[in-house]
Amino acid sequence: MPQKRGRRRKTRTHVRAVEEGGSDGVPRSFVVRRGAVPHGVKALIGELRQAFMPHTAAHLRERRSNSLKDFEAVAGKLGVTHMWMFSATDWGVYARMIRLPRGPTLTFRLQEYSLSADIKALQRRPASLVSDDLREPPLLVLNHFSAELPHVRIARAALENMFPKIDVRTCVLSRIRRVLLVDYDDENTRLHFRHYKILIQPVGLSRTVRKLVVRHKVPKLTGMSDISELVNGDGDGHFLESSESEGEGPQEAHVTLPQNVGKKRKQGGRNTIKLVEEGPRLSLDLVKIEDGVCAGEVLFHSRIHLDDANAEQKAAEAREKRKIKETRRALQEKAVHEKKQHAEEKQEKKRKRREARERERDQ
């Protein structure tokens, strides 16, 4: 029971401790920008945050004065493991995918992108995301990442670790509502991002009947004289030969559900799986990979190719810089410890003098 006097202690909270510290092992991410970027890139950042939901900071507000160290300090307290950072130069727009807190860092050049509004404007029947679709992370699908090259393995591991792992034996199908597809083009080291919404529709129903069964939406019955016109016809007395397979796609897309998906799609029913692109689209050219957080040894560079001697020299220089940094950090920690110890000794001396004065005053 809360105390009746003094400050009341909370006995019920709405935020779980696991969300604050990230101790549950779920990867979390930031999507931020540094400096001035084009207006379209700002909208792209907001849509990327939506695609990475729910384990991302959807309403993060950054300033131009924020530095990389500011984000690193906040990320450690919130359990953030990955950060996407966009910046613009005279040469173009760049995106860095950083694994916190020690790296590596993958630097991409934004070749082209499309926002959700542009994609939906070209669709005949666009499907919008609802709040239930964003409560679970998307299903990550990696395509053409089978090459055993060092930079391909690093990129594959970085993308896989951005999202929680899925156990196919225990996962609930109703929670998988989105797909994030990443395709790798080996010719120009380019990554293509696509974001889809999963639609599950029953097989063997016309569009009007499907609306009635799935959405509980009663169609217009004006001008119909028989129920067959609703089931098989177009509403004007003309029957559709392919009304049962309208919008169902090929036979490869027909599946038998192994478990219930919501209240309307029961286990064992025949349904068709349809992917509707939600956006955004991205095409990113992999430029380089660094060992640390925006620093350290360059593990891969798409434009600069070093021979063995130069590569070993660069690696030695990076090791030397890392060693100097560790030595400087050790000296700083030692100085802070000595300063703290000196302050404690000073406080102890003050306490003893104060106690001595009090004893003299009592005598």
82-102 pLDDT, tens digit each = 999 999 999 999 999 999 988
Residue 242's pLDDT band (cuts 50, 70, 90)? very low
pLDDT digits (tens, 9 = 90+) for 114-168: 999 999 999 888 888 888 899 999 999 999 998 888 999 999 999 999 999 888 8
All residues at 6 or more sequence positions from 272 whose CB lies less than 8 Å from its CB, including other chains: 200, 201, 202, 203, 248, 249, 253, 254, 255
Task: Identify the DSSP state of 328.
Answer: H
**Average pLDDT of the residues of the chain:** 82
- C-alpha 22/C-alpha 28 separation (Å) is 8
Output 239 or 156, whichever has higher pLDDT. 156
Three-point CA angle 187, 193, 197, nearest 5° = 145
What whole-number distance in Å separates Cα of residue 203 and Cα of residue 210? 9
Has residue 349 got a pLDDT over 80? Answer: yes
pLDDT higher than threshold 50 for residue 243: no
Give the model's pLDDT for residue 284: 96
Number of H helices and E strands in the chain, helices first, is: 8, 11
pLDDT at 16: 44
* Single pTM value for the model: 0.73
Percent above pLDDT 70 for the chain: 81
Contact 55, 29 (CB under 8 A): yes
Residue 12 binned pLDDT confidence (cut-offs 50, 70, 90): low
Query: pLDDT tens across 282-309, in order?
Result: 999 999 999 889 888 888 888 877 666 6
